[in-house]
Amino acid sequence: MAETTPTHIGAEIARPSGMRGIVADWSSDQRAFKNVSWGKAMMWIFLLSDTFVFSCFLLSYMTVRMSTVVPWPNPSEVFALTIGAEKIPLILIAIMTFVLISSSGTMAMAVNFGYRRDRRKTAALMLATAALGATFVGMQAFEWTKLIGEGVRPWGNPWGAVQFGSSFFMITGFHGTHVTIGVIFLIVMARKVLRGDFDHARRGFFTSRKGSYEIVEITGLYWHFVDLVWVFIFALFYLW
C-alpha cells in the first residue's frame, strides 16, 4: 500500500489544467450526461449551432448599421401603421411580439400537462401555441407585403441605406422560417398526443417510448429558443 501511494499522488498532480482539464473531467465523468436523453441532447446541440447562425446575422446587421455613411431608415416611421387618420409607430411589431411571447406561456403549460400525462390539455395547449405562431407568421407576411408595396427590396429601399432591405428580409425571413417549422411540428405532435400515440407506443416518429411525453418538452425547447431570438431581433432591428 505504501508503494502505491506516491503513484496515486503523482497521477493526481499530473492531471491537465485549464480547458484540457475541463474536457478531461467531462469526458471521464459518467454522471455528466447520465440522465439526458438522446433527443434532448441533440436538440440542445442544434439550438447551440442555431445560436451561432443568428448571432452572425445580428452581428453583421450591427456592423452594417454602424459602418454605413448613408442615413439608416427610421424604424418608427418605416414600420408605422395608419389607423384612422394617424400613423402609429411599431404597433404591428408590438402586437407580433405580444403574440409570440404569449405562445411561450401556452407552450410551458403544454409541457407541464405533458408530464402529468393529461393528453387532452397537452394537445389543446400545443394547438393554441401553434395558432399563436401561425398568427405571428401571418402578421409578418402582412408586414412583408406592406414594405414590398412601398418599394423595399433586398437591393434597396426608398428611405436611405440600401442594406436595410437585405438585412430586413434575411433576418426576419430566417426567423419566420423557424416559426413556420415550429408551427408544423407542433400540429403534428399535438395530433400524436391527442390520439394517444405516446401512451400506447404506437410506431412512428418520436413515439417509440411508451408513456414518455419528453418530445413535448423538446418541442418546447425549440419554441422558447425561437421566442428568445425574436426578443433580440425586436430590440436590435426595430428599437435601435
Q: Does 31 have pLDDT greater than 70?
A: no
- Considering the domain architecture, whether residues 24 and 95 belong to the same structural domain is answered as no
The better pLDDT of the pair 72, 224 is held by 224
Task: Look at the chain and report how many structural domains it folds into.
Answer: 2
| pLDDT, mean of residues 17-34 | 61
Give the Å distances, CA to CA, from 106 to 97, 124, 136, 202, 233.
15, 9, 15, 26, 22
Whether the predicted pLDDT of 115 surpasses 70: yes
State the pLDDT confidence band at 204, using cuts at 50, 70 and 90: low
- Whether residue 31 is found in the same domain as residue 103: no
Same domain, 22 and 112: no
Q: How many CB atoms lie within 10 A of CB 189?
A: 27
pTM, two decimals, is: 0.81
Q: For residue 155, what pLDDT is reported?
A: 87
Angle at 86 between CA 85 and CA 91, to 5 degrees: 130
Higher-confidence position of 32 and 164: 164
CB atoms within 10 A of CB 25: 12
| % of residues, the chain, pLDDT over 70 | 80
pLDDT at residue 185 in the model: 94
Dihedral class, residue 209 (left if φ above 0, else alpha if ψ from -120 to 50, else beta): beta
The residue type of 200 is: H
One domain, residues 139 and 225: yes
> pLDDT at position 201, please?
62
User: Does position 129 have pLDDT exceeding 50, yes or no?
Assistant: yes
Question: Does the structure show a pLDDT above 60 at 69?
Answer: yes
Secondary structure element (H or E) that encloses residue 88, with its range: strand 86-88
Please indicate whether residue 189 or residue 4 has the higher confidence score (pLDDT): 189
Per the prediction, the chain carries an average pLDDT of 84
Residue 163 sits at φ, ψ, to 5 deg, of -70, -15
User: Residue 203 above 80 pLDDT?
Assistant: no
pLDDT band at 6 (very low <50, low <70, confident <90, very high): very low
What is the signed CA dihedral for 77, 145, 225, 130, rounded to 10 degrees? 130
Q: Do residues 6 and 89 share a domain?
A: no
Q: Which amino acid is located at 186 in the chain?
A: L
52 and 69 housed in the same domain: yes
CA gap 212, 209 in Å, rounded = 6
Q: Measure Cα distances from 35 to 28, 30, 38, 40 in Å.
A: 15, 10, 10, 10
* 207 touches 201 (CB < 8 A): yes
CA–CA separation, 25 and 22 (whole Å): 5
**Same domain for 178 and 97?**
yes
CATH number at residue 69: 1.20.120.80
The yes-or-no verdict on residue 4 having pLDDT over 50 is no
How many of the other CB atoms lie within 10 Å of CB of 109?
Answer: 18
Print the domain residue range for 19: 1-35
Same domain, 136 and 84: yes
